[in-house]
Amino acid sequence: MSEFDPRIVRVSIEIDGSLNVFEGLWVTASGKKYANPKQNECEVRIANLRRESADYLLKETSPFNQAKRRKRIIVDAGRESFGVFRLFEGDITECSISQPPDSILTIKAKTGQFDKGNVVSSYQAATTPLSTIAKGVADTLGLSLVFEATDRNVANYSFTGGALRQVDRLSDVGGVNAFVDDGRLIVKNYNVPLREVSHVLSAKSGLVGLPETTEQGVKVRFFLVPSVKLGGQLTVESAINPAVNGDYTIYQLAFEVSNRDVPFYYIAECKRKGAK
């Protein structure tokens, strides 16, 4: 990456019902996203946030606050040459602040955390297409639906419990990969990458270090690019370790970004495409 292509790290935080965008402050963010019902997670550290904004978040996330309200956080990152893209979207779970004089606010968040406490009941007709059930789950969670699984009929579907647990239920009854990623409910066949979501990774396209073989397939570190998505395809081309070359499906995607420090990476863990 060119040193003349400045980074952008933008954080949007819901404060008192309004989404406030912060850019230009010192920011670092790290997190992990999973292509399964496990909640994605993120930690953001931001310096010199306005005092009233920091106070609001600290009060709202206090364990002594009984009036729980949804507090969203969105992290976008990119470079001036291609703009920003979504890294994480979720609900703030806790906040803490550093000792003076630094005034660094640490914010932790998880995908769908607010929906965990909402109890819902859903019943379908005797035989219902999986795509119809998935659409109902997405609507309940306020998400858009990306359905790329083989559709099938599900008999006597019913669910009662925390709204977010519907994603687990959907995975079980459909035998599919179902997960939430940045405002979308994604449903796809097991270890089949999302359509039209792929990236060729080599030393020329941002690969950092050597690909690491794992029990599942491969683990790679590379510079942030907008074409890489959780559940998408990654084609590895390593000149030094050609044994790992091939097509993979990303099942776990971690990120480490900062607008003023060294990190600006994805760390992807992948399975060989089509492996059982």
- On the question of pLDDT at 154 being above 50, the answer is yes
Q: Looking at residue 1, what is its pLDDT?
A: 45
Tell me the pLDDT tens digit for each residue of 239-263: 999 999 999 999 999 999 999 888 9
Residue 73 has a pLDDT of 96
Are 141 and 159 spatial neighbours (Cβ–Cβ below 8 Å)?
A: no
Mean pLDDT of the region 1-22: 84
Judge whether residue 272 has pLDDT over 60. yes
What is the model's pLDDT at position 18? 87
Q: What's the whole-number average pLDDT of the chain?
A: 92
Lowest mean pLDDT among 21-25, 186-190, 267-271: 21-25
Q: Residue 128 above 90 pLDDT?
A: yes
Q: Does the pLDDT value for residue 127 go beyond 70? A: yes
Question: Which pLDDT value is given to residue 15?
Answer: 86
* DSSP result, the chain: --TTS-EEEEEEEEETTEEEEE-SS-EEEEEEEESSSSPPEEEEEEES--HHHHHHHHHHT-TT--S----EEEEEEEETTTEEEEEEEEEEEEEEEPPTTT-EEEEEEETTTGGGG-EEEEE--SEEEHHHHHHHHHHHHT-EEEEESPP-EEES-EEEEEGGGHHHHHHHHHTSEEEEETTEEEEE-TT-PPTT-EEEESGGGTEEEEEEE-SSEEEEEEE--TT--TT-EEEE--SS-GGG-EEEEEEEEEEEEESSSS-EEEEEEEEETT--
Give per-residue pLDDT as tens, 40-73. Answer: 999 999 998 888 889 989 998 887 776 678 889 9
pLDDT of residue 265: 96
pLDDT(9) > 70: yes
Confidence of residue 123 (pLDDT cuts 50, 70, 90): confident
